[in-house]
C-alpha cells in the first residue's frame, strides 16, 4: 500500500497513482487541468469550524488530530475513508493539499488513518 501526501502545487508525477484533493476549498492559482485531481471527497476534509479553530492557533496539532479523527469517525466520513482505503489497497494514492506544511496538516492525519486501515 502506497499512500503519500504532496502539495497540490507540485507537478504531478507518474508515481502519484490516484490523486485525491483533501482540501475543502479549491486551491488558489491552480487550474483543474494542471492539478490533475482524480477525486475530491469534501466529506473527508475537516469541518469549517475545526479548520478555523486550528488556524486561529487556539489548540495544538495533537488536539487538532484528535478532533479531526472524531469527525472522520462519523458515518458519512467513515464510509469515504473506507473507500479511500480500498483504493490504496489497489494501487498508489497521493493525497493533495495546499497546506504549507503538509506533514503537520489534516492530510498527514488522513494518510496515517488510510495506512492503518
Which tens digits make up the pLDDT trace of 17-36?
A: 999 999 999 999 999 999 99
Within 10 Å of residue 69's Cβ, how many Cβ atoms? 13
Cα Dmax for the chain: 39
Residue 7 parent element (H or E): strand 3-7
At 117, the pLDDT band (50, 70, 90 cuts) reads confident
Contact 47, 62 (CB under 8 A): no
Q: Whole-prediction pTM value?
A: 0.93
Q: Is 92 exposed, middle or buried (0-12, 13-18, 19+ CB in 10 A)?
A: middle
- How would you classify the pairing of strands 18-21 and 3-7? unpaired
Name the percent of the chain lying above pLDDT 70: 100
Amino acid at each position: 500500500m502506497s499512500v503519500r501526501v504532496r502539495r497540490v502545487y507540485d507537478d504531478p508525477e507518474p508515481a502519484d497513482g490516484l490523486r485525491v484533493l483533501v482540501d475543502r476549498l479549491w486551491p488558489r492559482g491552480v487550474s483543474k487541468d494542471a492539478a490533475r485531481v482524480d477525486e475530491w471527497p469534501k466529506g473527508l476534509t475537516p469541518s469549517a469550524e475545526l479548520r478555523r479553530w486550528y488556524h486561529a492557533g487556539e489548540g495544538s496539532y495533537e488536539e487538532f488530530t484528535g478532533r479531526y479523527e472524531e469527525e472522520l469517525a462519523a458515518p458519512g466520513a467513515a464510509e469515504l475513508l473506507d473507500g479511500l482505503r480500498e483504493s490504496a489497497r489497489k494501487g498508489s494514492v497521493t493525497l493533495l493539499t495546499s497546506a504549507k506544511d503538509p506533514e503537520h496538516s489534516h492530510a498527514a492525519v488522513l494518510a496515517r488513518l488510510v495506512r492503518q486501515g
